[in-house]
Homo-oligomer: A and B are copies of this chain.
């Protein structure tokens, strides 16, 4: 690290802290390390490591590890074993929020992303923005209380919600929720927290979630479709979210209108009355009827499927992903996979694998948590480009 000696000393201290924290976090799971091991892992001198560890303990980010008799150390030692240090994952918390048409959901984790609790509350689709935000605040407040988490230990809050979301968290356009277009959602939520609040489109959040701990684990070129009556999609390209130039990538809701075909309201209707596009309960009933063999429901399913294939094929042809994940509803979608695969094979020169969401209804909140966790990890474990690579 001699090349850094001429730099700003506070920057040097920050670099050294980051190096030590990274070593304690390990490549996959946090490990407890001795000072000697930390010197080896960090490439820093022993006095530097001692100083950094002391500072990190004072900051609450590192603690001395208790001995774990189940995991004996590799090298046998006489006398008192060397002190070992661990990353304090409990030193801070992350919150993921879903604000959807029918529910708000909150999920809480420690600094390694381990889930500590979650809570979901239903809300009327017609609820105005203020009521929806208040329900959201009450839900997350209750989750913090139940898990005994102090609000000021939150390091970042992620939010997943329908619509085109600008970088500052303002909803540029969101037709699924009343009063959502133009809402300064990020700014409104920031009043409740002293930490950063990051807002992401719901389908984008779901894509991140499936990549993190769902059907797309280990797959870096993914399209995730939230198959609603007004579907949206999120895409990862090379493992990174593709938001598009104006944040509107994957907003395929209007695509079917191009064919001047049936409106979404009529697609899944089994009567002469249009079905409300966001009435998931009614949709689930149609799915169930179709499964029992009801003719009218089957025809409705076929229409729905044709629409889904159409929307999905457009995304697949444009992006050529390795994997397509279908989610957004709790149940019934498994019946859609095989027909979807068959149709994609007809229209795509190179059809992707097709998988059902593993996270189901929790995908959006989990993805919002991942957004918050990314922010915290960036602060703890990453140096800005301007600070020089290690």
CB contacts (< 8 Å) of A248 on chain B: these are 317, 320, 348-350
In the bound assembly, the distance between CA atoms of A349 and B253 in angstroms comes to 9
**Beta-carbon contact of A249 and B173 below 8 Å:** no
Q: Determine whether A363 belongs to the interface, using a CB cutoff of 8 Å to chain B.
A: no
**A314: which of B235, B242, B255 is its contact (CB, 8 Å)?**
B255
**Beta-carbon contact of B309 and A249 below 8 Å:** no
User: Considering residues A3, A250, A255, A314, which has the most beta carbons from chain B within 10 angstroms of its beta carbon?
Assistant: A314
Copies of this chain, complex-wide, total: 2
CB contacts (< 8 Å) of A255 on chain B: these are 313-314, 317, 347
**Beta-carbon contact of B347 and A233 below 8 Å:** no
CB contacts (< 8 Å) of A319 on chain B: these are 242, 244, 249, 318-319
Give the contact stretch, choosing among A143-151, A256-264, A268-276. Answer: A256-264
| Given contact pairs A254-B347, A347-B254, A347-B257, A245 touches B317 in the complex (Cβ within 8 A) | no
Name which residue of chain B comes closest to A347, CB basis.
B254
CB contacts (< 8 Å) of A280 on chain B: these are none
**Beta-carbon contact of A318 and B321 below 8 Å:** no
CB contacts (< 8 Å) of A318 on chain B: these are 233, 235, 249-250, 252, 314-315, 318-319
**A251: which of B3, B245, B261, B317 is its contact (CB, 8 Å)?**
B317
**A309: which of B242, B258, B322, B349 is its contact (CB, 8 Å)?**
B258
- Please give 17 more A-B residue pairs, beta carbons under 8 A apart, in addition to A250-B317, A258-B309, A315-B318: A164-B349, A173-B350, A244-B350, A245-B322, A246-B320, A246-B350, A247-B320, A248-B320, A249-B317, A250-B318, A251-B348, A251-B349, A252-B318, A254-B349, A255-B347, A259-B310, A318-B318
Identify the 4 closest CB pairs spanning chains A and B, nearest first.
Answer: A244-B320, A314-B314, A318-B318, A249-B320
Which A residues form the contact surface with B (CB < 8 A)? 3, 164, 172-173, 221, 233, 235, 237, 242-252, 254-255, 257-259, 261, 309-310, 313-315, 317-322, 346-350, 352
Q: List 27 A-B contacts (CB under 8 A).
A: A164-B349, A221-B245, A244-B319, A244-B321, A245-B322, A245-B350, A245-B352, A246-B322, A247-B320, A248-B320, A250-B317, A251-B320, A251-B348, A251-B349, A254-B317, A254-B346, A254-B349, A255-B313, A255-B317, A255-B347, A257-B346, A257-B347, A258-B347, A259-B259, A259-B261, A259-B310, A315-B318
